[in-house]
Amino acid sequence: MTLTIVGHGYVGLVTAVVFADLGNTVYVIGRTADKIKRLARGDPIIYEPGLAEMLKRNLDAGRIHFTLHYNEAIPKSDIVFIAVGTPPKNNGEADLSSVLNVAEMIGKHIRKYIVVACKSTVPVGTNRKIKQIISDKAKVPSTKFSIASCPEFLREGTGISDTLEPDRVVIGTEEARARKLLVEFHKPIGGVRVLTGIESAEMIKYASNSLLATKISFANMIAQLCDKVGADIEEVLNGVGLDNRIGRRFLYPGAGYGGSCFPKDVKALIKIGENYGENMDLLTAVERINDRAIKHLTEKILARLPKSQTGEGQTVALLGLSFKPDTDDMREAPSLKIIERLKRARTKLTVQVYDPIVKQLPIKELKNMIYSENSYQAVTGADVAVIITEWNEFLHLDLVKVAKLMKKPVLVDGRNIYDPEKVKQLGFSYVGVGRI
């Protein structure tokens, strides 16, 4: 088939490259000339394991094309996926301006039957708005297009495998012709097919992300209590997770959730509830607990530093900056919030940071911030070393070497990646999240 994807972020670009690799002709529409040129040269712009290689393969094969122009892509396509961002407004609502602008542009360029499927995470009712906008702008009868909601569930860092072998493929539409085409299109990939109405498909995405965020906040809430009562959170959650009604996935305490989805989707679902007169107090508690996880971890770090009002002469090494491993995404990353809290508490504190991929923070340059070339450089002369992101390379650090490089061997394990007893045997003062 021939398809168009509007948007080339994590969702749009990964989807485009994977379906080009499956033999389709794919057009990707962007709005920034420089980025389109970089993509056409084989630079994926974002970091995602395996993406650069797959992009180059499909560029060489002539199956994927990048453009700024709707008239180059929409008239030729069987399906167009909307995959642009829906960032939160100040009040928590999803900003739909990009989605609705894209719908208007699509409407202007429809020439033959096409399915317009929205992959962007949007509140209930948005696809109805998309249909109305396209109807207003299209120069063809309404029978020449159908709308559908096809939310994505890929995880950054495992986006390619998640696209090829998803748990489920959700197709929300009221029109048999569109449903048949989308089912046919998705045949080459795995996953259970979930065929629903439009509103149900829109809600599935928000409900899924909010429930996963709830599991993370639940784990952090219990971890904070374990700190007080002397229980080990890993033992507790191992026992809890063996119940197959619950499972262990996402029951991981630490620095809280971040990224492009969970924070904004929880906020958006709270706002959707408010708009319909429903109290979403469970999710407001999820947000509070997530904020508290950042606060508690920062307090653990500050408590292990030498006494000082300003932090002068003190150094903290932060290992990991991205919100999760195998991505360079810094949106709502816990590392940013921890750095800001540390610098507010100790204005002259030196923070030495290292991340395998992220080399620059998207915040105003802070005094006494040092970017390190590797983990060992970051911990050199540090009073406290902190694991913020569970990159695989941190599991294999030479901790004996780390201890020798630090002023004092103090390790705050913000992701519980180490065995406390083994670390303590190496002479470290070990601090985990909810660990004895």
Residue indicated by tokens 């679902």: 269
Estimate the crossing angle of helix 281-303 against helix 198-229, to 10 degrees.
40
Token pair of 108 as six digits: 């202007």
Rounded to 5 degrees, φ, ψ at 22 are: -85, 5
Q: Please tell me the distance from the alpha carbon of residue 381 to that of residue 407, in angstroms, as a whole number.
A: 5
Cα of 331 vs its chain's centroid, Å? 8
Q: Please tell me the distance from the alpha carbon of residue 62 to that of residue 56, in angstroms, as a whole number.
A: 10
Report the predicted TM-score, pTM, of the whole model to 2 decimal places.
0.92
What beta strand segments (E) does 327-422 contain? 350-354, 369-371, 384-387, 410-413
Q: Is 261 labeled as catalytic in the residue annotation?
A: yes
What beta strand segments (E) does 182-307 contain? 192-196
Residue indicated by tokens 């619950």: 246
Q: Indicate the average pLDDT of the chain.
A: 95
Percentage above 70 pLDDT, the chain:
100
Consecutive H or E run containing 202 = helix 198-229
Is residue 140 within 8 A of residue 191, CB to CB? The reply is: no
What single letter denotes the amino acid at residue 124?
V
**CATH numbers and ranges of domains, the chain:** 2-196 (3.40.50.720), 199-436 (3.40.50.720)
pLDDT one-digit tens code per residue, 244-294? 999 999 999 999 999 989 999 999 999 999 999 999 999 999 999 999 999
**Tell me, what's the pLDDT at 368?**
87
The stretch 168-172 carries a mean pLDDT of 98
Token pair of 240 as six digits: 């809890």
| Poorest-pLDDT segment among 36-50, 129-143, 156-170, 187-201 | 129-143
The stretch 43-70 carries a mean pLDDT of 97
Token pair of 379 as six digits: 């911990």
Is residue 257 within 8 A of residue 290, CB to CB? The reply is: yes
pLDDT one-digit tens code per residue, 285-337? 999 999 999 999 999 999 999 888 888 999 999 999 999 999 999 999 999 99
Find the catalytic residue in 118, 150, 226, 261.
261
Indicate whether 50 pLDDT > 80: yes
Residue indicated by tokens 């046919």: 184
Q: Please tell me the distance from the alpha carbon of residue 401 to that of residue 379, in angstroms, as a whole number.
A: 10
